[in-house]
Chains A and B, each alone.
Chain A
Amino acid sequence: MPDGAAHVTIRGLAKRFQDAVVYEGFDFDIPRGRFVSVFGPNGCGKSTLINMIAGLVPTDRGEILLGGKSVKDTNFGYVFQNYRDALFPWLRAFDNIEYPLKLRHIPQAQRRARVERLVARLGVTIDLRRYPYELSGGQQQLVSIMRALVVEPEVLFLDEPFSALDYEMTLFMRDQLQRLFLETATTMVLVSHDLEEAVYLADHVLLLSRRPARIADYVDVPQPRPRSAATLSDPEFVRVKGHCLEVFQRAVRGP
């Protein structure tokens, strides 16, 4: 299937928690091999959206397909905001990364080879014999991203992956993630509460309105990659970001 064709298709999605309607008749396509950022007001349903796509939260109605298949038959990765809770502290970093391969009953020699290949490809310099609690926050999140990537997923979901890191580490991790994206061309869906980050990383920004979430806008970010610190002050980038902010403020205020 060509890049840019719909990879994830969402049709007629409906979801409510008790009396809070989060989605109602929601349609959306996520293009293959592209990076989509999801941005919107607090509690509008960003996490719920990717959790429903990933099968962590059941939908009430509607259909979600990934490459025409259900999520159960899809190879996907998911990166949690809270890396400390998401990694297994009783396993060394290396064993954490190879754990999903173990679940797939891949023999040990192959598991090692695949992790080592991933490490080499990403140019990761962390000592993977360490336990997660012996690593810095950024290193831990990098390990958990590698754990998600080692199965060579079709889609990678990231829910505010950098929001627990300090600013310097966040900048570094953004570029790591961009490298991963360029390296692997995996379809990526990022939920972020940092507009600059959302725009910087994305090919497309999905802007959601307040609950019930509707598409407030779907903005293309045409900046060439690799992007760098210079991109942040590029007039075109600033314009796109400004436009997103405007749409966001309107969306927060509501109709």
Chain B
Amino acid sequence: MRRVFARDALAQALLPCIGVVLLLALWYLASYVRVVDPVLLPSPVAMMTALWRGMTAGSLAHDFLRTVERTTVAMLVAAVIAVPLGILLGSSERLYRSVEFVIDFFRSTPASAVFPLFLVIFGVGDKTKIYVASFGASLVILFNVAYGVMNARKTRLLAAKVMGASRLRVLTDVMLMESLPQTFVGLRNGVSLALVIVVVAEMFIGSVDGLGHAVFDAQQMFEMPDMYASIFAAGALGYGLNLLFLLVEKRVVHWSGK
């Protein structure tokens, strides 16, 4: 009986690996039988070698860290603006309704459309890349925080009120905590968006480093293994950031969904 359980657990753990192995096998096969020009699609081994070289000896590690840095700063700026503002707007439904259209409008505007505007204001340096990402992420965060606060359970607010909590205490002790699960949804969506914007900005807006730059550069030089390595690094970063937020969320909002 025990053995069966152990085997089941192992099978469960290995299940997600199947897709990865399948993809690698297909890729390897495709490059081996040359269905695609090997210059366009190098083998996974070539990609991994390029990744290793780039991360240890080449500039990929530096590019990776620069993208992490820009995304982090963009998220910090976005959170510092959007979380307090979201709480403020959410604490009064009438206030939120009065600006809802504006928020929804800009939330639906592709953030990339404001690049030229930000370029005029902040120039071609890092500021534009970071602030456009902050702009996009902050609207997503704002929207989620405000809804989290607005959807705080009425009974919980009443319970605090009935115990004698002032309006401020209700806000800090109950509404804020109630909004946390939704706030994390906003942060996770926000960081994904921020990464997208940062990488795009690194490709086209006078960049000398960053993963976007690395991808674009490798493509320009026709260094296909390097390009795939950079794409892979960007994917790993996005996945890692999402995972990080999920783990933090699980610890902080331990009561969510229970």
Contact = CB atoms under 8 A, between A and B. Distances in A.
A88 B158 contact: no
B164 A85 contact: no
Contacts of B173: 88, 99
B165 A131 contact: no
B2 interface: no
A90 B164 contact: no
A140 B66 CA distance: 49
A54 B162 CA distance: 8
A36 B253 CA distance: 40
Given A103-B165, A104-B164, A80 B155 contact: yes
B114 to A, nearest CB: 37
Nearest to B256: A89
Nearest to A144: B159
Majority-rule SS of B interface residues: helix
Given A103-B169, A131-B255, A85 B162 contact: no
A87 B177 CA distance: 12
Contacts of A218: none
B153 interface: yes
Majority-rule SS of A interface residues: loop
B159 A80 contact: yes
B121 interface: no
Interface residues of B, number: 19
Interface in B154-207: 155-156, 158-159, 161-165, 169, 173-174, 177, 180
Contact of B163 (A85, A89, A90, A103): A103
Contacts of B94: none
A87 B153 CA distance: 11
B254 interface: yes
B251 interface: no
B258 interface: yes
Interface string A179-197: 0000000000000000000
Contacts of B169: 103
Contacts of B161: 56
A78 to B, nearest CB: 4
A157 B180 CA distance: 31
B243 to A, nearest CB: 23
A137 interface: no
A133 B255 CA distance: 7
Contacts of A89: 255, 258
Contacts of A151: 163
A171 interface: no
A88 B164 contact: no
B155 A85 contact: yes
A86 interface: yes
A82 B163 contact: no
Interface of A: 54, 56, 78, 80, 82, 85-90, 99-100, 103-104, 131-133, 147, 151
18 contacts: A56-B158, A78-B162, A80-B159, A85-B153, A86-B156, A86-B158, A88-B156, A90-B177, A90-B254, A90-B255, A99-B163, A99-B173, A100-B164, A103-B164, A103-B165, A103-B169, A133-B258, A147-B163
Given A80-B159, A99-B163, A99-B173, 11 more contacts: A54-B162, A86-B158, A86-B159, A88-B174, A90-B177, A90-B254, A103-B163, A103-B164, A103-B169, A131-B255, A132-B255
Rank and list the top 10 A-B pairs by shortest CB-CB distance, nearest first.
A89-B255, A85-B155, A133-B258, A100-B163, A86-B159, A78-B162, A85-B153, A90-B177, A103-B164, A86-B155
